[in-house]
Structures are given as structure tokens and as C-alpha cells.
Amino acid sequence: MAKPAANAADRARSVPALSDKRINIRTRRWESPIAGYLFLSPWLLGFLLLTLGPICMSFYYSLTDYSLLAAPNWVGWDNYHRIFMSDDTFPKTLKITFVFVLLTVPLRLIFALLIAMMLNRNVKGISFYRTMVYFPSLIGTSIAVSILWKNIFGRNGFINDVLGFFGIAGKSWIADPHYSLYTLILMMVWQFGSSMIIFLAGLKQISRDLYEASSVDGASKIRQFFTITLPLLSPIILFNMVQTTINSFQMFTQAFVVTNGGPVHSTYVYVMYLYETAFTKYQMGYASALAWVLLVLIGLVTALLFWSSRYWVFYESQGGKR
Amino acid sequence: MASIARTWSAVLASSMLVAALAACGNNNNSNDGNGAASASPSASSSASSSASPSGASGEPVKLTIAWWGSQERHDATQKALQQYTALHPNVTFESQFSGWDGYFDKLAVQNSAGNAPDIIQMDAAYVNDYVGRGLLADIGSINTADVDPSVLASGQVDGKLYAMPLGVAALGMVYDKSVVDKLGLTAPSFDWTWDDYYAFGEAAKAKLGKDKYVFEDQSADLVDYTAYQYSMGKGYIYSEDGKFAIDKDTWIEYMTKMSELRDKGILTPADLTATDKELDPQLDNVVNGNAIARHLFSNQVTAIDALKPDTYAYAALPKGTEGGGWLKPSMFWSVNAKSSHAEEAKAFIDWFINDTDVAQTLGLTRGTPVSSKVVESLTPNFSEADKKSVAFLNSVTPTAQKFINDPQGWGSFKNDYKTIVEEIQFKQTTPEQAYEKLLKKADEYAAAAKG
């Protein structure tokens, strides 16, 4: 978080120096914005063609009945009406998704913060540990890990082998509707690496002076954590929270590969429903409408998080005013 | 003020993340190998229009061809394609092959992007959908003199041939003969009845003990109930005009009976059933030894035999007042209606089903071939598994029921069906309640199919 800001400041400082040198080249002032856009063009083109274009198209499709095999057919707001009025699956899948998000986000943040604090000390070979701990997240959302997960939590999987060692008879965790969603939550929590790295960077920003001063005053480690670490880290907690919330709402690969939404739709998360509507039922119009509902939903939740942040996020730059 | 701006920029940023997801359908699935093609549809069509007026045989033609299947089928098919190119040096192929999962997802995306393959392996569940939308070409000119008309009929819509059946397969059962022999049980046969089936279940369970099961629970597979309704003389699960025709009493009776078997440990328990994956070396409950028997199509005989040679034997589905099994065209070749090389594609299909040389290469990888001449030419070289497969087919044939393609728009009904029956398996609902849910789903499908 803080890094880009620092870079921007560096850049701001270096600009006058550069333009001094080039002042005679830049006589034709109109050239510079074009050059700027040219440099931006790979990203800009990608954004317009691969992101903004499809977004607009998906909104158009959400107002149509589109089977993919035949041309779209305009139906106005019918799809949205159906989602909220007569779709039984929509509230069900929404509920599953909310349970997933509400459990995943706090667990993952707590876990990531704990690990980050463990790794935030000067031990020999710490960078090796950091790499190892971050490793699962590199391969995190891939199919391979999902398949691995499927095997670990399967009837004859590793978890049951371990339980068996202690004389506990396990079951097929992913195939039991009472537990399947929790195995997926566990998987998402396990992929804490990216949040952890950001926390770690945040922890390093906190001045050691504060800790030293407080320990001179006799503050315990726990007190230091709650009065120094947490407040100073709160902007980063907010960032991680928003990031994780958005990711959790969009969870798909795990549900698709590990449980395929089952058993009995116990892991039928929203995006899974969206996918099946689109690609097994070929109701692209309806699926697009579902995607837009999700978009608005995530927007609202994110707005809520930001609104709440004024009550718990502490910005040093604002002089500690909340 | 600043915080409001921050809020909005964050909302916007998060919106983009989701929107990228909303858009993923358009570019995600179509890009293995075809990304380039999707970017330049105009280029390829202009190139072909300059080449095709004559349709001359000497012009180099590149046919794209897609199929699903196992490794065995991939190998055989690619060899066959090479053989064709050796005979017709101007025709080359770009093949796109995969397993069954996702095959039709990808095909739908390719169709919408206008870059579907020239030659498409089709499944019976989708023939009506695709033909109804005008996506398949009429391929009636192919020589079908040696193909049984009743088999051919499965690829016809309104009297025109759109999908060339490639093989026939019979629905029956597989059982682990080594276990049945070891336990000294009366083996299932090709004319066993439902009573025999239940008796076999009881007897086998008594000897198997607690952690082994007799039948893989396939009650959530619409195929199994279809066979049951047929065997009880109640006809097909869809009416002639494509309406839902699952008989309420028969269905509840079947589901109640299956629940009883599940409680007794004759059927696999729900959590074991949920992880079953047909013909997967580790996950297939019959292959990994959790159960003894399951339903199987005769074209899968070579596949299951390869997993554990000389272990399995085959039987028909149990009889009621009638037979329960049927002959199903295992798959079809279709030609993309928009293909600019339709003639070459048809010539290839003609060769593929009629040529006795390529038949040696292909064997039974797509079921028993449809051409009687081809089957005749193959017989002397049959492997043991092939012989079993053909014997299986011939044993089911006399009592076979009529095979009917899924009505247009009902292709994915079986998925919803599965979820509903799973609720029974996990004891979340009763057969009666489940039937109501089924009716409700069926209404949705009927409404969508009409619209």
C-alpha cells in the first residue's frame, strides 16, 4: 500500500529535473499527451477490448434471452424480475455464499496476520520460511491444488489417515453435505499468502520506536498488539478485508473442482450457479443478469466496509483523527 | 469528503473485478488453440471464399474436428486422421479432443463465437437442440447402405440426417466376477428380474460385511430410472411430443425401494456415492472395490476391462414386465452448418463409417460400428474384450427398448434430476416431496423449451 505512494513521490521529485533537460524538445507541447497515451495503449486497449467491452456486452445480454447457439432476444428487465421474484435457487445459493464469505474473511485475515507476525522477526533463514509459507498461495487457485484437496479430504484421504492414527473413524469430508462447505472454507483460509505478504509489509512500516517507548512504560506484548500494532495496521486490514471479501464472493474453482457444487448443492456458491446457468443450461442472458446482481452486491458490501472504516481505521497522516 | 471519494473509487475498483468475471464467459473457454481463430473470423472466411468456388479435390483443405473420449479413442482417432491424410494429401486436420467434462460447454462457446469445428462429435442429448437451432448441416448424401435404418433414425430430425451414428452401445450392467465367484453367489444374468436383483443384493450383502456394498447407487442418474420405468411397462420418461412423463407411482415406488436398499447397505451410502466417478481408476466404486456392480454401456467394456483385465462380467438391467435396457447410438459425427468445407467433411465421415481399413484402426472405440459390413470385417480380429462387448450388445438387443433423443431444451434436465435425488440419498427429503420438486423443475423446463 505504502510503496506506490512512495514511488509517486519519487517521481514527482524527479520530474522537474527531467523536464529541464528536455525543455527544447518539448516545444510542441501537444505531442506529450499522445505519447502518454501511446505508452498506455497496450493496457488501454486491453482494458477497452477485453474488460470494458465485455462488461457492456454482458449488461446488454442481461436484458436478453440468449442461448449462445442462437441470436439474443430482447426481453427487457425480465431476467432481473425472475431472479428476485421466482427463482428458488437464487436465495439458496446466496445464503451459501454469505456463509462462505462471513466465515472465510475473518478466519483468513486472522490467520494471515498471525503468520505475518511470526515471520516478522529476524531469525536466520527467515526469507526461506517466508517463501515456503507463501508457496501455497502461488499455486493457490489452480486446478491441481483443488484436486489435491479433493484427495486429502476424501474418504481414503490424508486427513482420515491422520485421524485413523488416533483411532478416529473419518468420513468423506467433501462428500458430506454438513462438512463440504467447511472444507472449501479451510482451503480458502489456507491460501492466506497474499494477505500475509501485505500484512508483513505493513508490520515493517510500524516504527520500532513505538514498541520501545511502550515497553519502557511497561506495556505487555498483548497490550502492544492491541494499542500499537492493530491501530497502525488498520488501513492494511481494511485493504485485505476488501480484497478477501471480493475474492470470496467470487469463489469458483474450488467449488467446481473439489465438490462440483454438491453434494446436494451444499457448496453451490453463487458463481457456481452462474456458471451452470451459463454453460450447462446455456441461459447466457439470465447468467449475465446474475453476474450483474453479484456486481451490485459486491459493490454494496464493499461500500459498507468503507463506510464502517471511518469508525475503526486509523490513518497516521490524518493525525490520528478518526 | 476524501473518504467518500475513496469509497467510490474502491466500489468502482471492486466492480471491475466482478465485471471481469461477468465477462469471462466470452474469452475464457474458447482460447485453447482457437484464440487466434476467434480474433480473425473475417480473415478465414475471406480465405476460404477464394478457395472454395470449385471445391476442387486438389485444393489444400484443413478440417477442424472435435471429439470427446478416453485416451484409447484419442489415439485411434488420430491414427485414423493420419490415414485419411495419407489417402487424401490435400486434406489435413486440426483436432480438438478432450474428455466428456466441458466438451459441450466449449462447443457452445465456439458456436457463439462462430469458430466451431467443421466436424463435431455429437451426443444424443444435444442432437435436437443443435438441429433445432440450425447449427448442423444435412448430411443425407453420405452412403448409409449398410447401416440399420432404426439406428440411423436416431440421427435424423424430421426425416433428414443431421448426425451420423458411429456406434451402438447397449445399456446393461457390469459386475465384479472375481468377487461373485469367490463369495459363491448366483451371478447376475442377461434375463434376471428385479426380484433376482433384490435377492442378489441381500445375499451378497450378507457375505460382504459392513464396509462393502453390492450396487453402486446410481438412482440419481436419470438413466437408471428410465430403465426402471421401461421395465415396468410404463413407457419412456418423455412423451411423444417431448413432455415430462415420469409416472408418479412408479417413481415413488422405485425411490422408496432404493432408499430401503441404501439403509440395508446394499447400495453405496450417499457420501461414497457422491465421490464416485465412472471408470476412474481410483474413484469408480466398482473398480476400487467398494461395490460389486453398476450400470454400464457396452461400449465401455474395453475401458473397464483395461482397468482390471479379466475381472468383470456383464448382465442386462433387471426385467420387470419388459426389458429395461436399450441400444443407444454411442455418439455421432455432425457437420457444422457454417462449415465452408462441408463436402470434404461429408466425404471424411463417409470414409470413416464405411471403410474397412480404418475400421481396423478404430476398433470398437466408439461402440460397435454401425455398418454391418464393417462389423463383419472386424470380427476375426476381435480382442477378448471386444468379443465381450459385442456379446453384451447382442444379448441385450432382443429385449431392447426404443432409444429416444432428449427433447429440445431438456438436455440438462438430468443435472437437476440428480440434485433432487441426491436429497433423497442424504435423507433431506422424502420420495413424495422429491417428486413434487421434480414436477416443479419439469414445469420450468417445459416453459423454457416453449419460449
CB B382 within 8 A of CB B390: yes
- Predicted pLDDT at B204: 95
Phi, psi of B190 (to 5 degrees): -85, -5
Domain boundary assignment for chain B: 58-168+329-394, 170-327+403-450
Question: Which of B11, B23, B111 shows the shortest C-beta gap to A58?
Answer: B23
CB contact under 8 A, A295 and B19: yes
CB A215 within 8 A of CB A145: no
- Predicted pLDDT at A27: 54
- Residues B171-195 have a mean pLDDT of 93
pTM summary value: 0.77
- Predicted pLDDT at B21: 43
- Residues A297-301 have a mean pLDDT of 96
At A123-173, the pLDDT tens digits run: 888 888 888 888 877 775 678 888 888 888 887 788 888 888 888 877 778
**Is pLDDT at A4 greater than 60 in this prediction?**
no
Closest CA to B51 of B406, B340, B381: B340
At B412-442, the pLDDT tens digits run: 898 899 999 999 999 999 999 999 999 999 9
**Is pLDDT at B189 greater than 80 in this prediction?**
yes
**Is pLDDT at B7 greater than 60 in this prediction?**
no
**Is pLDDT at B234 greater than 70 in this prediction?**
yes
Higher-pLDDT residue of B291 and A147 is: B291
Q: Which fold has domain B170-327+403-450?
A: D-Maltodextrin-Binding Protein; domain 2 (3.40.190)
Residues in B 284-343 with any Cβ partner in A closer than 8 A:
none
Residue owning grid cell 448424401: B141
For residue B26, give Cα distances in angstroms to A75, A288, A289, B99, B403.
Answer: 21, 11, 15, 22, 35
By C-alpha distance, the chain A residue nearest B288 is A156
CB contact under 8 A, B14 and A299: yes
At A69-93, the pLDDT tens digits run: 778 889 999 999 999 998 888 999 9
Higher-pLDDT residue of A151 and B227 is: B227
3-state helix, strand, coil in chain A (%, to 5): 75, 0, 25
CB contact under 8 A, B7 and A307: yes
All domains in chain A, ordered by first residue: 79-318 (1.10.3720.10)
Beta bridge partners of B174: B294, B314
For residue B44, give Cα distances in angstroms to A237, B33, B37, B339, B375.
Answer: 52, 15, 8, 11, 39
For residue B282, give Cα distances in angstroms to B179, B276, B288, B294.
Answer: 18, 9, 6, 15
* Spatial distance between the Cα atoms of A229 and A210, rounded to a whole number of angstroms: 10
- Predicted pLDDT at A29: 56
**Is pLDDT at A1 greater than 50 in this prediction?**
no
At B338-363, the pLDDT tens digits run: 999 999 999 999 999 999 999 999 98
- Predicted pLDDT at B329: 87
At B10-65, the pLDDT tens digits run: 554 554 444 444 444 333 333 333 333 333 333 333 333 333 333 445 789 999 99
- Predicted pLDDT at B9: 52
Confidence of residue A30 (pLDDT cuts 50, 70, 90): low
By C-alpha distance, the chain B residue nearest A48 is B20
Predicted ipTM?
A: 0.73
- The minimum CA-CA distance between B169 and chain A, rounded to whole Å, is 25
Residue A170, C-beta contacts closer than 8 angstroms, at least 6 positions apart = A155, A159, A160, A163, A164
Residue owning grid cell 505487555: A220
CB contact under 8 A, B7 and A68: no
Average pLDDT, chain A: 84
Higher-pLDDT residue of A206 and A68 is: A206
Chain A with chain B: Cβ pairs closer than 8 A: 133
Which listed CATH number (3.30.70.360, 3.40.640.10, 3.40.190.10, 3.40.47.10) goes with B58-168+329-394? 3.40.190.10
